[in-house]
Copies of this chain bind each other. A is one copy, B any other.
Amino acid sequence: MSSTLKKLQVVSPVPADIDIANSVEPFHISDIARELSLGTSHYDFYVRLPQVLLSVLDELQGSKDGYYVVVGGITPTPLGEGKSTTTVGLCQALGVFLDKKVVTCLRQPSQGPTFGIKGGAAGGGYSQVIPMDEFNLHLTGDIHAITAANNLLAAAIDTRIFHESTQSDKALFNRLCPPNKEGKRSFSNIMLRRLKKLGISKDRPEDLSPEEVKKFARLDIDPNSITWRRVMDVNDRFLRKITVGQGPEEKGMTRETGFDISVASEIMAVLALTISLADMRERLGNMVIGNSKAGDPVTADDLGVGGALTVLMKDAINPTLMQTLEGTPVLVHAGPFANIAHGNSSIVADKIALKLVGPGGFVVTEAGFGSDIGTEKFMNIKCRYSGLTPQCAVINVGLVEAGCVNLARHISNTKSYGVNVVVAVNMFSTDTKAELNAVKSAAMAAGAFDAVICTHHAHGGKGAVDLGIAVQKACESVAQPLKFLYPLDISIKEKIEAIARSYGAAGVEYSEQAEKQIELYSRQGFSGLPICMAKTQYSFSHNAAEKGAPSGFILPIRDVRASIGAGFIYPLVGTMSTMPGLPTRPCFYDIDLDTSTGRVIGLS
C-alpha cells in the first residue's frame, strides 16, 4: 500500500478540520487491515469499523515487538495542546514518509466534552483520525457498555441492601437458592465463588448450617462505606452529589451518592489494563464496592453480578481499527481523563500493535496531559502491568505554552523512567525562528535526547519527518530497563509521597477520611497495589493557578478509593471533581445534522 499512500494536497491557510476530513477519500477499512496482515477472520464489522480480535495476540505470540513510543505533554490550557495532533502527525510521518510500519494507539473520547466545551478530539489540521464523526460519537459502543455495566452493579448494590433489610436469613436464602420443579436447590457458579471465599466448602444448599446461611446470604453492606458510584457519559454537574431512594417503595432507605463521568469508571480502567477475557472476568468480579459492617470488602462477585458485567463488556475488549488522514492504521481503545481516572489507552491495543508492526516498526501511544498525571500513570501502572518498556517518550509543546521551567521539569521527570525524551515543538505561523530555537535550547539543556520543530498541523506527516527521524534514533539508542518511580512493596503513604515529590511537593497532608480509607485498605491487604492519583492537570501542584514548576507546597489528599479490580489505589487530590459541567454556551449549539445528506455539522 505504501506506493499508493496519499500525498495530501495541502492548502494554505489551513481549512477547518472538518473540511479537511471531508476532502479525503478514506481507504476501505479492509485495506487498512490487510496491510497489517489482518484477514477477515481477525475482525468483525461494527459501525463500518472493524474490531480487531484478541486471538491475533495468540497467533503472533512468538513474534518480536516493534518500538514503543509514548507521547505526553506539558501542563496544558483548557483546550488541550495538540498532543493528539502530534501523535497522529508523527505516525503519518513514520508511515508515509519514512516507510515504517506504524500503528497509532489512541483513547476514545468521552462524549461529555464533545458536547460541552472541547468539541471533537481526533487530532487537527492535516493530522487527524478519520472518520472524525465516528471517532467522536458512539464508535463501537465501548463507553456505552461501560456505562451499562457500571450502573447494573450500582443497582445491584442498593437493591441488595434493600432486600436484606426486609427479609429474614431464611427468606433470603430461599430466594437466592429456590427449589426447581423437582424440588431441588442448587448454587449457581458465581455463588460457589462466594462460598469458597468464605471458606465454606459445601456445594449443596441444604448442607449449610444456619450460621453459614447467614454468612453466605447476608452481605451486610455498610452503606457509609460504599465507594461505587453510578456513571453517565454526559457533563451533568447536577448529578455530582445526589440523594437516591426517596420513593415511597424504597421505605426510607435513602443514601447520599453521586455520578461520575463514565470514562472515570473502574470498569474503564479494567478495560485498559486487562490482557484477556479470562483476566477481565476476574478483574470485574474482584471490584470492591464497599465493606460489610464487619469491615470486609464486598465485591461484584459477592453480589452475583461479575459474570453479567463480563457479558456486557465482551465486545468492548476488542480494539477498534480506524485510520489517519494519510492512511496509516489507528487502534482506538479505552478512554481519557488522566486527571480524574487512569486515563491511558489499553494494554491489549498496544500489545497487538507491537506484534503487528514487528521489529523496526513503531507503536505510538498517548498519555494524558503532562508527566505529572499522564506519563506517571503510563509508566507506574500501565507498563508495570503490561511488562512493556517504551524506548522513547515524546513531549509535545507549543511555543506560547512553553514556560520553560515547566517544560524542564516534565523533561526531567520523564527521563527518570529511563526513556529517551524527544521534545516536539509545534510551530505556528506567527512564531519566530529565535523563539523556537530558544525552546529547543531549553529542552536540550533540561536533558532531552533531541528537540525538533514540527508543522504537522499545517502539513500532515511531511511536517513531522524530522520528529520521526529523531524518534527513530531515540528508539535505536541503547535501551535501559524501565525505572519505576516507586516499588510496590512499600506502604500506601510512602508511594503517594514518592509521587508527590515528583510533582515538587514538600509533603503530603491527609484528611480524616483519607486516613481512614488508607488504614482500611492496608488492613484489607491492598497496600501492595500501585497508586493512581486524581489531580488537576493545570498545575504540578493541586492548585490550578500555580503555573511553571511550583515547589515547597503540601499536597492535600481529600479521600482515597480503591479500584481493586483494575488494580490500584485511587487518591483524590484537593477538590478534583469526577464529573464535569456544561458551560453557558455548550458547543452543542453548533452541532446538527444536515438531514438531506445525513452529514454531521459542527462536531469539530
In the complex, A96 has a CB within 8 A of chain B: no
A175 touches B585 (CB 8 A): yes
A277 pairs with B593, CB closer than 8 A: yes
For residue A432, CB closer than 8 A to chain B, the reply is no
Q: Please give, as numbers and ranges, the residues of chain B lying within 8 Å of A280 by CB-CB distance.
A: 595
Q: A159-B581, A315-B138 given as contacts; is B175 within 8 A of A601 (CB)?
A: no
Contacts of A250 in B (CB 8 A): 237-238, 240-241
Bound Cα distance A241, B175 (Å): 27
- A14 to B372, alpha carbons, bound, how many Å? 61
15 extra A-B contacts, CB within 8 A, seeds A115-B308, A241-B245? A138-B144, A138-B148, A141-B144, A144-B147, A144-B148, A148-B233, A158-B238, A237-B247, A238-B255, A242-B242, A277-B598, A281-B592, A305-B588, A307-B592, A308-B591
Q: Is A506 an interface residue (CB 8 A)?
A: no
- List 26 contacting pairs A-B, 8 Å CB cutoff, sorted by A: A44-B47, A46-B46, A138-B141, A138-B145, A144-B147, A156-B586, A158-B237, A158-B238, A167-B584, A172-B584, A176-B584, A188-B590, A189-B592, A238-B244, A239-B244, A240-B250, A241-B248, A242-B245, A246-B256, A247-B258, A249-B581, A278-B595, A278-B596, A304-B588, A308-B591, A310-B593
Q: Which residues does chain B contribute within 8 Å of A534, judged by CB atoms?
A: none
Is A137 in contact with B232, judged by CB distance below 8 angstroms?
Answer: no
Measured in the bound complex, the distance between the Cα atoms of B249 and A506 in whole Å is 29
Given A156-B582, A277-B598, A589-B304: A315 touches B240 (CB 8 Å cut-off): no
**Are A236 and B585 in contact, CB atoms less than 8 angstroms apart?**
no
Given contacts A315-B47, A593-B314, are A588 and B156 in contact (CB under 8 A)? yes
Contact A158 B47 (CB under 8 A): no
A436: CB under 8 A from chain B?
no
Q: Restricting to A159-189, which residues have a CB under 8 Å from any CB of B?
A: 159, 162-163, 167, 172, 175-176, 178, 188-189
Interface 0/1 of A271-301, CB less than 8 Å to B: 0000011101100000000000000000000
Cα-based distance from A191 to B247 in the complex (angstroms): 38
A residues 77-130 touching B (CB-CB < 8 Å): 111, 115
| B583 and A175 contact, CB distance less than 8 A | yes
Q: Which residues of B contact A141 (CB under 8 A)?
A: 138, 141, 144
The answer to whether A311 and B243 have CB atoms under 8 Å apart is no
A604 to chain B, nearest CB (A): 12
A325 to B401, CA, bound (A): 61
How close is A196's CB to chain B, nearest CB, in angstroms?
16
Nearest B-chain residue to A114, judged by Cβ: B308
CA distance A163 to B239 in the complex (A): 16
A51 to B307, CA, bound (A): 29
Chain A residues numbered 473-517 whose CB sits less than 8 Å from any CB in chain B: none
Q: Is A554 an interface residue (CB 8 A)?
A: no
A582 to B250, CA, bound (A): 12
Please give the distance in Å from A151's CB to the nearest CB on chain B: 5
Q: Given A46-B47, A176-B585, A593-B281, are A311 and B159 also a contact pair (CB < 8 Å)? A: no
In the assembly, what is the distance between CA of A588 and CA of B153, in Å? 10
A48 nearest CB neighbor, chain B only? B44
- Report Cα–Cα, A593/B154, bound state, in Å: 20
A600 at the interface (CB under 8 A from B): yes
A308 contacts across to B, CB distance below 8 A:
115, 588, 591-592
A89 to B243 Cα, complex, angstroms: 47
For A241, give its contact among B44, B47, B159, B246 (CB under 8 Å): B246
In the assembled complex, the CB of A304 is this many whole angstroms from the nearest CB of chain B, namely 4
Bound-state CA distance A253–B242 (Å) is 12
Given contacts A144-B148, A148-B111, A163-B584, contact A137 B240 (CB under 8 A): no
